Amino acid sequence: MDTKRTVFPSQGLPYLLVAPQLIITLIFFIWPAGQAVKSSFEREDPFGLSTSFVGLMHYGRLFQDPAYLASMGRTALFALAVTVISMGLALVLATAVNRLIRSGTAYSTLLLWPYAVSPVVAGILWWFIFNSTTGILPYVLEFFGVDWNHQLNGGQAMILIIIAASWKQISYNFLFFLAGLQSVPQSLNEAAAIDGAGPFKRFWTIVFPLLSPTTFFLMIVNLNYTMFDTFGVIDATTAGGPNQATNTLVYKVYSDGYIGLNLGSSSAQSVILMLFVIVLTVIQFRYVERRVQY
């Protein structure tokens, strides 16, 4: 069987077609990343008038800074909680919608709407809900003996940003899990049901292993989401407080660089954050992917 091939009239046309994307990537991704690496080895005054080369001084100070090391721990807790909660709830919702026959499309549309909300709007929404003065949830929690005030309690502030960031990501995970569930052959479930396997056993022994490529992909996406895309949620809800209780790595880059005007240290933090994500992604591909069944 012959496969159809596209023949370009000239050798330069393919490069011309991909040139806009390459230019955008170079200007908005490669060049800023290179500037961040360059700035991490320099000390610059807040106005950018003088620059001096300091080598690895910023990196050495960061790993000796208790505040930065504490921020690493908070980021690890935040990333783990958001990934588990958003993927877990998305899988439950996708499984429930996949069992529906008539109203599945309507429920899917409703569940996808939160993904269209920007991170800042999502943060403000949950800030109003958990506001200790006007929010509805603190009023309800008071009946259970919980005095909610995330502006004073660091643990409650961390719970708030975890809930807000997870809610924002559930829709994205739901979409991929639903697509994965719909691609599972129904004949496998029917054969297992004939053999006497219950719904729970059929899901964990047949459906969930077949979802492993989707789950592996979403693990990587959610990791990058918690490391980079949650800045707007944190800034709108807690702004890193109280007492830096929610000051994650990505927010510390902003607070030290934009607010504190420590450009060299902020650049070093962004480089370290990028390296962390790269290393974790490589580890996932190297070890976790072995358990994935394609």
pLDDT in tens, 177-199: 998 988 888 888 778 878 777 77
With 80 as the cut, is the pLDDT of residue 107 above it?
Answer: no
Which pTM was predicted?
A: 0.88
From CA 278, how far away is CA 120, in angstroms rounded?
A: 26
From CA 103, how far away is CA 17, in angstroms rounded?
A: 42
Element (H, E) at 42: strand 42-44
Helices 154-182 and 66-98, axial angle in degrees (round to 10): 40
Highest mean pLDDT of the ranges 99-113, 198-212, 227-241: 227-241
Residue identified by tokens 């004073």 is 152
The pLDDT value given to residue 128: 93
Which residues touch 181 (CB under 8 Å, ≥6 apart)? Answer: 94, 95, 98, 207, 211
Q: What percent of the chain has pLDDT over 90?
A: 46
The pLDDT value given to residue 169: 94
Which residues touch 141 (CB under 8 Å, ≥6 apart)? Answer: 148
pLDDT tens for 33-82 read 898 899 999 888 767 678 888 889 999 999 999 999 999 999 999 999 99
Query: What amino acid occupies position 130?
Result: F
From CA 52, how far away is CA 74, in angstroms rounded?
A: 32
Helix and strand totals (H; E) in the chain: 15, 2
Q: What percent of the chain has pLDDT over 70?
A: 93
From CA 92, how far away is CA 59, in angstroms rounded?
A: 42
| CATH architecture group of domain 70-293 | Orthogonal Bundle (1.10)
Please enumerate, as own/partner, the contacts of 244-247 that have beta carbons within 8 Å and a separation of 24 or more: 244/67, 244/70, 244/71, 245/74, 245/154, 245/155, 245/157, 245/158, 246/74, 246/78, 246/154, 246/157, 246/158, 246/161, 247/67, 247/71, 247/74
> Is the bond preceding 242 in cis, omega lying within 30 degrees of 0?
yes
3-state secondary structure of 53: strand
The pLDDT value given to residue 97: 86
From CA 228, how far away is CA 250, in angstroms rounded?
A: 6
The pLDDT value given to residue 258: 86
Q: Name which of 54-68, 251-265, 280-294 the model is least confident about.
A: 280-294
